[in-house]
Amino acid sequence: MISKGKGGIGETVRTVFVAVLIALAVRTVAFEPFNIPSESMMPTLLVGDYLFIAKYSYGYSQYSLPFGLPLFSGRILSRPVHRGDVVVFKLPSDDKTDYIKRIIGLPGDTIQVRDGLLYLNDKPVQRQRIGDFLYHDRFGDVGEVPQFIETLPGGTSYHIIKIRSDAELDNTPVFHVPPGHYFAMGDNRDNSSDSRIAPGDGGVGFIPAVNLEGRAEILFFSTNGTAHWWQVWLWPDSLRFARFFKPVGGGA
């Protein structure tokens, strides 16, 4: 028997309400979707990628909650962050904007870039030149740029690109990561506003542990942006099917 009238409407409202609560719960404690709007994490992440982050990876802070509700301070059920993790966090300068970068430095580490090469605790990070990356910039230009496999202490490997040999961030001061903070960089080393740039200069600076929202886990969708949602006939050429369900993070 199917309910009609007020009973049917009431049941529908209750069902929708419960569904919304379940979705919010999953989004808060388990997985949350994000999309990639910039080139800063190329070649690991491309503009038009959609991914899930695991909210439980590092425990929970107020930024795990909808709208960043300040219901508690610090982190609960805290878990360790590892070098090489790709993380989503709230930009420390406004605690509102979502950023995604790769964790390079842990509390107590020293970080420096010298002549384009990353140094961790005064030791050069292993880097191996591989085949060029086909780079599509935001202006529609395409070109090949140098690509490397970088391997952090502990064995986490990932791809990075270096577009220029004399980039502004190829030589930095020594950064000392303070307690309770992290140092993050984009895989697109010449086109990333990250911890190498101070917040007052439009960068990220050190990331407080409380600002971490979760670890990027897997891509679930990817489009090159050449087709609108209603242009169904163009979908086959715009969707990057090879990127669907691709894990994010280390592993070159």
Domains of the chain: 31-243 (2.10.109.10)
- The pTM score is 0.86
Residue 167: what pLDDT?
A: 84
CA dihedral defined by 69, 209, 117, 192, rounded to 10 degrees? 10
Note whether 211 and 98 are within 8 A (CB).
no
Note whether 213 and 33 are within 8 A (CB).
no
* Cis status of the peptide bond prior to 43, with omega within 30 of 0: yes
Residue 52: what pLDDT?
A: 96
Per-residue pLDDT of the chain (252 residues; tens, 9 = 90+): 334 444 577 666 666 666 666 656 555 666 799 999 999 999 999 999 999 999 999 998 888 877 676 777 788 888 899 999 999 999 999 999 999 999 999 999 999 999 999 999 999 999 999 999 998 766 667 789 999 999 999 999 999 999 888 888 999 999 999 999 999 999 999 999 999 999 989 899 999 999 999 999 999 999 998 888 888 888 889 999 999 999 996 543
3 is catalytic: no
Which tokens is 33 given? 């979707």
101 is catalytic: yes
Which of 90, 101, 192, 222 is labelled catalytic?
Answer: 101
Give residues with Cβ within 8 angstroms of 62, minimum separation 6: 68, 69, 70, 71, 72, 73, 210
Which of 40, 57, 192, 222 is labelled catalytic?
Answer: 40
Residue with tokens 């529609």: 140
DSSP notation for 99-142: EEEEEEE-TT-EEEEETTEEEETTEEPEEEEEEEEEEE-TTS-E
